[in-house]
Amino acid sequence: MSKNTVLTLVGSLRAGSTNLQLAEAIQLNAPEQVDVIIHESLGNIPFYNEDLDIEGQVPAAAAALRAAANDADTILLVTPEHNGTVPASLKNAIDWLSRPFGAGALAGKPTAVVGTAFGQFGGVWAQDEARKAVGIAGAQVLEDVKLAVPGSMVRFAEVHPKDDAEVVEQIKGVFDALAAARTAEAA
Protein backbone atom coordinates (compact mmCIF):
# COMPACT_ATOMS: atom_id res chain seq x y z
CA MET A 1 0.00 0.00 0.00
CA SER A 2 1.40 3.42 -0.90
CA LYS A 3 2.21 5.79 1.91
CA ASN A 4 -0.08 8.65 2.80
CA THR A 5 1.92 11.87 2.68
CA VAL A 6 1.11 14.60 5.19
CA LEU A 7 2.75 17.98 4.57
CA THR A 8 3.04 20.08 7.74
CA LEU A 9 3.29 23.85 7.51
CA VAL A 10 4.46 25.47 10.73
CA GLY A 11 3.06 28.92 11.51
CA SER A 12 6.08 30.11 13.51
CA LEU A 13 9.44 31.19 12.13
CA ARG A 14 11.34 30.87 15.44
CA ALA A 15 14.22 28.41 15.59
CA GLY A 16 12.95 27.35 19.03
CA SER A 17 9.31 27.22 17.96
CA THR A 18 7.15 25.01 20.12
CA ASN A 19 4.95 24.45 17.07
CA LEU A 20 7.95 23.19 15.11
CA GLN A 21 8.61 20.87 18.05
CA LEU A 22 4.99 19.76 17.97
CA ALA A 23 5.34 19.05 14.24
CA GLU A 24 8.46 17.00 15.04
CA ALA A 25 6.52 15.04 17.66
CA ILE A 26 3.77 14.42 15.11
CA GLN A 27 6.37 13.22 12.61
CA LEU A 28 7.92 10.87 15.18
CA ASN A 29 4.56 9.38 16.13
CA ALA A 30 3.26 8.86 12.61
CA PRO A 31 1.86 5.39 11.92
CA GLU A 32 3.86 3.15 9.58
CA GLN A 33 1.76 3.98 6.51
CA VAL A 34 1.96 7.76 6.99
CA ASP A 35 4.90 9.90 5.87
CA VAL A 36 4.98 13.30 7.62
CA ILE A 37 7.05 15.98 5.89
CA ILE A 38 7.86 19.24 7.67
CA HIS A 39 8.10 21.99 5.09
CA GLU A 40 11.06 24.34 5.36
CA SER A 41 10.47 27.71 7.01
CA LEU A 42 7.65 29.74 5.51
CA GLY A 43 9.76 32.85 6.19
CA ASN A 44 11.49 32.71 2.79
CA ILE A 45 8.27 33.13 0.83
CA PRO A 46 7.58 36.71 -0.34
CA PHE A 47 4.28 38.32 0.56
CA TYR A 48 1.65 37.22 -1.91
CA ASN A 49 1.48 39.66 -4.80
CA GLU A 50 -0.35 39.01 -8.03
CA ASP A 51 2.45 40.82 -9.87
CA LEU A 52 4.83 38.03 -8.75
CA ASP A 53 2.39 35.22 -9.47
CA ILE A 54 3.21 34.83 -13.15
CA GLU A 55 3.31 31.34 -14.64
CA GLY A 56 6.93 30.27 -15.01
CA GLN A 57 8.20 33.17 -12.89
CA VAL A 58 6.80 32.37 -9.45
CA PRO A 59 9.44 32.99 -6.72
CA ALA A 60 11.31 29.76 -5.96
CA ALA A 61 10.16 29.44 -2.34
CA ALA A 62 6.51 29.90 -3.31
CA ALA A 63 6.85 27.45 -6.22
CA ALA A 64 8.45 24.90 -3.87
CA LEU A 65 5.57 25.31 -1.43
CA ARG A 66 3.02 24.76 -4.19
CA ALA A 67 4.88 21.68 -5.48
CA ALA A 68 5.10 20.18 -1.98
CA ALA A 69 1.39 20.79 -1.38
CA ASN A 70 0.46 19.33 -4.76
CA ASP A 71 2.48 16.19 -3.97
CA ALA A 72 0.90 15.73 -0.52
CA ASP A 73 -2.23 13.72 0.20
CA THR A 74 -3.04 15.82 3.25
CA ILE A 75 -1.98 19.22 4.59
CA LEU A 76 -1.53 19.72 8.33
CA LEU A 77 -1.13 23.29 9.60
CA VAL A 78 0.66 23.47 12.96
CA THR A 79 0.26 26.97 14.27
CA PRO A 80 0.39 29.32 17.23
CA GLU A 81 -1.94 32.29 17.57
CA HIS A 82 -0.82 35.85 16.93
CA ASN A 83 -3.14 38.50 18.30
CA GLY A 84 -6.11 36.21 18.13
CA THR A 85 -5.57 35.03 14.58
CA VAL A 86 -3.29 33.22 12.13
CA PRO A 87 0.38 34.33 12.06
CA ALA A 88 1.13 36.33 8.90
CA SER A 89 3.64 33.80 7.56
CA LEU A 90 1.06 31.02 7.56
CA LYS A 91 -1.68 33.23 6.11
CA ASN A 92 0.76 34.17 3.35
CA ALA A 93 1.37 30.48 2.60
CA ILE A 94 -2.38 29.87 2.46
CA ASP A 95 -2.73 32.78 0.00
CA TRP A 96 -0.03 31.34 -2.29
CA LEU A 97 -1.70 27.90 -2.12
CA SER A 98 -5.11 29.40 -2.92
CA ARG A 99 -4.06 30.54 -6.39
CA PRO A 100 -4.50 30.12 -9.36
CA PHE A 101 -8.12 30.72 -8.39
CA GLY A 102 -10.06 27.45 -8.40
CA ALA A 103 -6.95 25.42 -9.24
CA GLY A 104 -4.61 26.14 -6.32
CA ALA A 105 -2.85 23.35 -4.44
CA LEU A 106 -5.44 23.54 -1.65
CA ALA A 107 -8.40 22.91 -3.95
CA GLY A 108 -10.06 19.70 -2.77
CA LYS A 109 -7.09 18.89 -0.52
CA PRO A 110 -7.86 17.35 2.87
CA THR A 111 -6.50 19.90 5.35
CA ALA A 112 -6.35 19.89 9.14
CA VAL A 113 -5.20 22.43 11.72
CA VAL A 114 -3.55 21.83 15.10
CA GLY A 115 -1.10 23.73 17.26
CA THR A 116 0.07 25.13 20.54
CA ALA A 117 -0.09 28.69 21.87
CA PHE A 118 0.63 30.39 25.15
CA GLY A 119 -2.96 31.31 25.94
CA GLN A 120 -5.29 29.10 27.96
CA PHE A 121 -7.15 27.85 24.88
CA GLY A 122 -4.05 26.84 22.93
CA GLY A 123 -4.71 29.08 19.93
CA VAL A 124 -8.19 27.91 18.96
CA TRP A 125 -9.04 31.30 17.46
CA ALA A 126 -6.08 31.04 15.10
CA GLN A 127 -7.01 27.45 14.28
CA ASP A 128 -10.60 28.43 13.50
CA GLU A 129 -9.41 31.30 11.30
CA ALA A 130 -7.00 28.98 9.50
CA ARG A 131 -9.83 26.49 8.88
CA LYS A 132 -11.97 29.32 7.53
CA ALA A 133 -9.22 30.55 5.18
CA VAL A 134 -8.29 27.14 3.77
CA GLY A 135 -11.98 26.32 3.37
CA ILE A 136 -12.50 29.48 1.33
CA ALA A 137 -9.42 28.46 -0.68
CA GLY A 138 -11.26 25.25 -1.57
CA ALA A 139 -9.67 22.76 0.80
CA GLN A 140 -11.62 19.89 2.28
CA VAL A 141 -11.37 20.99 5.90
CA LEU A 142 -10.97 18.09 8.34
CA GLU A 143 -13.01 19.57 11.18
CA ASP A 144 -12.71 16.47 13.36
CA VAL A 145 -8.93 16.73 13.66
CA LYS A 146 -8.39 18.74 16.84
CA LEU A 147 -5.35 19.46 18.99
CA ALA A 148 -4.80 22.76 20.80
CA VAL A 149 -2.19 22.69 23.54
CA PRO A 150 -2.23 25.70 25.92
CA GLY A 151 0.75 27.21 27.74
CA SER A 152 3.23 26.51 24.91
CA MET A 153 6.34 28.32 26.12
CA VAL A 154 6.02 27.12 29.71
CA ARG A 155 4.79 23.62 29.02
CA PHE A 156 7.55 22.94 26.50
CA ALA A 157 10.31 24.99 28.16
CA GLU A 158 12.05 21.90 29.47
CA VAL A 159 10.10 19.06 27.87
CA HIS A 160 9.89 18.52 24.12
CA PRO A 161 6.33 17.60 23.05
CA LYS A 162 7.62 14.18 21.93
CA ASP A 163 8.37 13.46 25.59
CA ASP A 164 5.05 14.78 26.89
CA ALA A 165 2.89 11.68 27.38
CA GLU A 166 -0.41 13.56 27.24
CA VAL A 167 0.55 15.30 23.99
CA VAL A 168 1.75 12.03 22.45
CA GLU A 169 -1.63 10.48 23.31
CA GLN A 170 -3.40 13.44 21.69
CA ILE A 171 -1.22 13.06 18.59
CA LYS A 172 -2.43 9.47 18.30
CA GLY A 173 -5.95 10.90 18.32
CA VAL A 174 -4.97 13.24 15.46
CA PHE A 175 -3.78 10.29 13.36
CA ASP A 176 -6.93 8.32 14.21
CA ALA A 177 -9.06 11.25 13.00
CA LEU A 178 -6.95 11.59 9.84
CA ALA A 179 -7.38 7.87 9.14
CA ALA A 180 -11.15 8.08 9.77
CA ALA A 181 -11.38 10.98 7.30
CA ARG A 182 -9.49 8.93 4.68
CA THR A 183 -11.79 5.96 5.23
CA ALA A 184 -14.88 8.18 4.91
CA GLU A 185 -13.48 9.71 1.72
CA ALA A 186 -12.79 6.29 0.20
CA ALA A 187 -16.29 4.95 1.04
Residues that bind ligand FMN (CB under 6 A): 12, 14, 17-19, 80-84, 117-119, 123, 152-153
What does 91-156 look like in DSSP terms, one character per residue? HHHHHHHT-STTTSTTTT-EEEEEEE-SSTT-SHHHHHHHHHHHHHTT-EE-TT---EES-HHHHT
Distances (CA, A) of 135 to 16, 97, 176: 29, 12, 22
In the complex with ligand FMN, the residue whose CB is nearer, 32 or 158, is 158
Closest distance to ligand FMN from the beta carbon of 10 (Å): 7
In the complex with ligand FMN, the residue whose CB is nearer, 123 or 138, is 123
Q: In the bound complex, which residue of the shown chain has the CB atom lying closest to ligand FMN?
A: 119
Closest distance to ligand FMN from the beta carbon of 26 (Å): 13
In the complex with ligand FMN, the residue whose CB is nearer, 162 or 182, is 162
Closest distance to ligand FMN from the beta carbon of 147 (Å): 14
The C-alpha torsion from 35 through 178 and 19 to 2, rounded to 10°, is: 10
In the complex with ligand FMN, the residue whose CB is nearer, 59 or 119, is 119
Closest distance to ligand FMN from the beta carbon of 112 (Å): 17
Whole-angstrom Cα distance, residue 159 to residue 143? 29
